[in-house]
Structure 1
Amino acid sequence: MTEDKFSITLLFNANKVFDRKVLEGIGMYLQTTGVNWDLYLEEDFRGRLEQIYAWQGDGIIADFDDPEIRRALENSSRPVVGVGGSHSNQADYPKVPYVATDNFELVNAAYTHLRQKGFSQFAFYGVPDPLGVIWPKERELAMKELVNREGYKCDFYNGRITQPASWQSAMDELGRWLLRLPKPVGIVAVTDARARHLLQACELVGLMVPDQVSIVGIDDDEVVRNLHKISLTSVKQGCVDIGYKAASILHKMLNKGKRYEEIHLIKPLGVVERASTDYKAVDDPYVIQALHFVRQNACKGIKVEQVADFVGVSRSNLEKRFTFERGHSLHNEIHQVKLNRACELLKTTSLELNDVAMQSGYPSLQYLYAIFKKHFSETPKQYRSNYS
C-alpha cells in the first residue's frame, strides 16, 4: 500500500549551525524511512512567515527559538512540530510537540570538562538579552546553578552584540573583563561564535590560551573552529537527532490524524577537546611562556633554541624546568603539537598531503610519512581513511 504524499514546510534559518544540523536530521529521516513528503524550504534556507497563512500544505517543522515563528504557529490548525532549546520553567514550553536541545546538559558538559582539567575559577561569556529569545539566558542560569551547587564563584559577562562600528570597542571591553578575572580561569561561552571573541580578545591583551584562560564553546561549528590559530574545544549538540525525532513525530501526527503535546530533550553528544583547553596545571612562569610560544609557533618549524630565546633563559635551564613541570622534554612538546596538527588536518580537511605536511611544520611529505609510520604504523593516507 502506497503512503499518502504530504506537503511539508520547513521554517529554519540555515545560517545557524543548529538549524543546518536539524535539517540534516530531517533529511536523514526521509532517507531511512522513505516517507513520501514534498518539502518546501526557501531557496536561501531562511524561514519566512509572509505566506504561511495562505499556505495549503499538510504539516510544519519550525525553529521555535524564533519568537515570531513560535507566535505565528503555536495555535496553527495544521500539525506543527517545534524545535529549539529547553526551558527550566515548564510553563515556557509551547503547546505543540517540541524537540529541544538540553541547555542544562550542554553547559554541564562544558563545565564538567573544565572541572576535570583542574579549574576552580570560572567565568561565563553570554550575549546581551536578545528580545524574546530565551536560550542564552537558559544557559546562563544553568551555569549559575552548577557553580552554586559546588560552591564555586563564577564571573558572568554578556558584552555587546557585535557590529562593524562597535567591534573594536567591544573587543577592548571584553579584553578588560578578561584581564580582571582571576587566573587560571576556565570560561564557558554561550556559543562558538562568542568563544571566538574570547580567543581574539585574549590575543589582543596578551593572555595565554589555555595556560591562563581556557575556553569551551557550544555548537562545535566546523567553520568557527578554524577561524583562529588556537583550535576551539566545543560541546557537540545532538542537532541531527533533534531533526530526526521532529520528523518522526510529524510523521506520526500525519498518519494518525491526532494532535500531541509532548516534549523531548536531546542530550549533547559530548565535548570535542582541542587546543583551547589543553591545560595542565603549571606553576613555573618560564614554562608557561614556553608552552604558549610552542602552541603558537610549533608548526612554523621552530627549534628549542628559539623557545629559550623567547623566554629569556638558557636552553639547559629551560629544559630542566620544562621536564620537571611536564614530565617530558621541550623537543617532545614541539613534536607533539605538530603531530596533533597533522592529525587534525587529516581528519577534518581534504587538504593535499603535501599541504598537510607544510601546515604542520614538517620539511617534506616523506618526513610526514616517516612520522606517521613510526607513531601509528600507517601512512597519513591510511590514517585519513579511518575518519572518512
Structure 2
Amino acid sequence: MKTTKAHQIALLFNANNIFDHDVIAGIAAYFGSTRVAWDIFMEEDFRLRLSGIEQWQGDGIIANFDDPAVAEALSRCRVPVVAVGGSYADPANYPAGVPYVATDNAKLIELARQHLIDVGLPAFAMFSVPATEENRWARERENTFRSLMEGDRLEAEIFRGCETSVESWDEAVQGQIDWLRNLPKPVGIIAVSDARARQLLQACIIADIEVPEQVAIIGIDNDPLVRRLTRIPLSSVIQGAHEMGGVAAHLMEQMLHGVRPPDTPIVVPPAGLNVHASSQYQLVKHPNVMRARHFIRQYACQGIKTEQVADYVGVSRSSLDANFRQELGCSVHDVILSFKLNAAKAGLESAECSIEDVALGSGLTSVQQMHRVFKRELGCTPRAYRERVLSERGQLSPA
C-alpha cells in the first residue's frame, strides 16, 4: 500500500506558558481532526534550541514571534514559517514576508472593560508589566486601554510594577498595595494577564482590600492553574489561542502544498469571558456586609459557618444576619451556600475532576450533599449538570 511521506514540522513554543500551551492544543486539534501527515518536533522550551535553527532540515516551522530573538533567528530559515503572536497597531511591527496569526489585543481589552462597565463600576485602571521588547503585546493592550479612556475624557491609570523574583517579591507586593490604596474606590482593574491578576488579588488580600466591592479584577488568558492558586475565583478574558493554533496549522498545510499565504495578518478575536467572583461587583453600602462577603469569597469552600464570618467582622451572628437581609435580602448562610454552589458548578464544567473531588473542593463535603443541593437549587443532579454543559461545548462527558 502506498503511504504519504510525513512532513517534519517544528513547533517553537514554550509549553509552560498558557498562551503557547493553548496554541499548541489548537495545532493538535487540527492535526487530529484532519489527519495531516506530520511528524511534530517540539522542545519543552524552544528558546534553548534557537541556535542553529536555520540549519534544520525539516519541512516547516510554526513559532511564537512575540520574542524578537525568535523572529530574528527564523528570518534566516529556508523552510516555510508561520508566525503566531500579539497583534500590533503599527503594520511595521509584523515580520516581513511571514504569514502571521495574531490575537486581537484591542478586542481583549475592549471586552474586559465593557464587562467592568456592565457590572456598574465607575472607575477603571490597568495593571501591566514592565516595558521590554518581549512584552510588546502588553504595550498594545495599554494603548487600547489608554485610547478607550481618552475617548471618555478620562485619565488612563496604568501601573506596570516591577518584574518579580525571589529578591523583589516583598518590594513588588508593597508597590502593588501602595498603588491599590491610592486608587479611587470602587475601581475595576484590567490585568494584562492572569499571572498579573493573581498577583493583584494576593496584594488585595494581604492589604485587606475587599474584592470586588472595592477593587474588581479581571485578567486575560483564562488560565486554569492560576484560578486554582487564588482564594477568590478569578474572572478572565478567554483568548482565541486555541483557534489561533488551528489557523496556523491550516496555513502551514496550505504552504506545504504550494498555496501562497495571505499578505496581511489574520487577527483572531477573543473567545469570550469566564466571569467569577473577582469581578462580580455589586453595590453594597453596609461595611459589615462588604467585609463579610470578602471573607466568604476566600473561605466559603473550606466549610466556614455563619458564626466564623460574624467573628471575623466583629459582630453577633444575629446582627450580621440582619445586615445581610436588609442589604441583600438573604442570610449569611445563603451567601456561603451560593459560593459553594458556584464553585461546584465551575468544577463540574471541567472534564478533569471527578464528581467526588468537585464535592470536596467546593466545601459540600460529600457527593450526597452536593446531590441534594443541586436538586434543590437547580432541579438537576450534578452528573446531569455536567453532561449538559459538556454536551453544549461538544465535549464528551467523563466516565
- TM-score scaled by structure 1? 0.93
| CA distance 1:351–1:11, shift in 2 (3 Å) | closer
How far apart, CA to CA, are the structure 1 residues paired with 2:108 and 2:252?
A: 26
**Higher mean C-alpha displacement, 5-14 vs 91-100:** 5-14
In structure 2, what is the equivalent of residue 173 of structure 1? 175
Q: CA deviation at 1:60?
A: 1.4
Secondary structure in structure 2 of the residue aligned to 1:144: helix
- 1:99-155 C-alpha deviation (Å, 9 max, x unpaired): 000001111111111111111211111111123541111111111111111233332
**Higher mean C-alpha displacement, 69-78 vs 350-359:** 350-359
| CA distance 1:91–1:302, shift in 2 (3 Å) | same
Aligned-residue CA RMSD (Å): 2.1
**Match among 281, 289, 292 for residue 291 of structure 2:** 289
Q: Kindly report which structure 2 residues correspond to 1:365-384, keeping only aligned pairs within 5 A, or say none.
A: 365-384=367-386
How far apart, CA to CA, are the structure 2 residues paired with 1:360 and 1:6?
A: 46
Letter in 2 for 1:281: L
Q: CA deviation at 1:351?
A: 4.5
Structure 2 unaligned residues grouped into runs of 5+ = 391-396
In structure 2, what is the equivalent of residue 319 of structure 1? 321
| CA distance 1:356–1:83, shift in 2 (3 Å) | closer
| CA distance 1:2–1:148, shift in 2 (3 Å) | farther
Secondary structure in structure 1 of the residue aligned to 2:120: coil
How far apart, CA to CA, are the structure 2 residues paired with 1:356 and 1:15?
A: 25
| CA distance 1:312–1:349, shift in 2 (3 Å) | farther
In structure 2, what is the equivalent of residue 97 of structure 1? 99
Letter in 2 for 1:94: P
For the pair 1:7 / 2:8, whether they are aligned, the reply is: yes
Q: Percent identity?
A: 44
**Higher mean C-alpha displacement, 339-348 vs 110-119:** 339-348
Q: CA deviation at 1:165?
A: 0.9
How far apart, CA to CA, are the structure 2 residues paired with 1:176 and 1:99?
A: 38
In structure 2, what is the equivalent of residue 119 of structure 1? 121
Q: Is the CA contact (8 Å cut-off) linking 1:83 and 1:98 kept in structure 2?
A: yes
Q: CA deviation at 1:372?
A: 1.5
Q: Is the CA contact (8 Å cut-off) linking 1:122 and 1:153 kept in structure 2?
A: no
How far apart, CA to CA, are the structure 2 residues paired with 1:113 and 1:360?
A: 26
Q: CA deviation at 1:319?
A: 3.2
Q: CA deviation at 1:292?
A: 1.4
| CA distance 1:98–1:207, shift in 2 (3 Å) | same
Letter in 2 for 1:253: M
How far apart, CA to CA, are the structure 1 residues paired with 2:163 and 2:68?
A: 18
Q: Is the CA contact (8 Å cut-off) linking 1:79 and 1:250 kept in structure 2?
A: yes
| CA distance 1:197–1:2, shift in 2 (3 Å) | same
**Higher mean C-alpha displacement, 132-141 vs 193-202:** 132-141
**Higher mean C-alpha displacement, 309-318 vs 363-372:** 309-318
Letter in 2 for 1:13: N
How far apart, CA to CA, are the structure 2 residues paired with 1:274 and 1:186?
A: 14
How far apart, CA to CA, are the structure 2 residues paired with 1:144 and 1:294?
A: 34
In structure 2, what is the equivalent of residue 46 of structure 1? 46
Q: Is the CA contact (8 Å cut-off) linking 2:53 and 2:74 kept in structure 1?
A: no
| CA distance 1:206–1:7, shift in 2 (3 Å) | same
How far apart, CA to CA, are the structure 2 residues paired with 1:326 and 1:151?
A: 34
**Higher mean C-alpha displacement, 208-217 vs 72-81:** 72-81
Structure 1 unaligned residues grouped into runs of 5+ = none
How far apart, CA to CA, are the structure 1 residues paired with 2:365 and 2:169?
A: 39
How far apart, CA to CA, are the structure 2 residues paired with 1:57 and 1:261?
A: 24
In structure 2, what is the equivalent of residue 243 of structure 1? 245
In structure 1, what is the equivalent of residue 80 of structure 2? 79
How far apart, CA to CA, are the structure 2 residues paired with 1:23 and 1:300?
A: 35
Q: Is the CA contact (8 Å cut-off) linking 1:120 and 1:152 kept in structure 2?
A: no
Q: Is the CA contact (8 Å cut-off) linking 2:236 and 2:275 kept in structure 1?
A: yes
| CA distance 1:351–1:10, shift in 2 (3 Å) | closer
How far apart, CA to CA, are the structure 2 residues paired with 1:153 and 1:283?
A: 27
Alignment length, in residue pairs? 387
In structure 1, what is the equivalent of residue 220 of structure 2? 218
- 1:301-340 C-alpha deviation (Å, 9 max, x unpaired): 3333443343334444433432332233333212211211
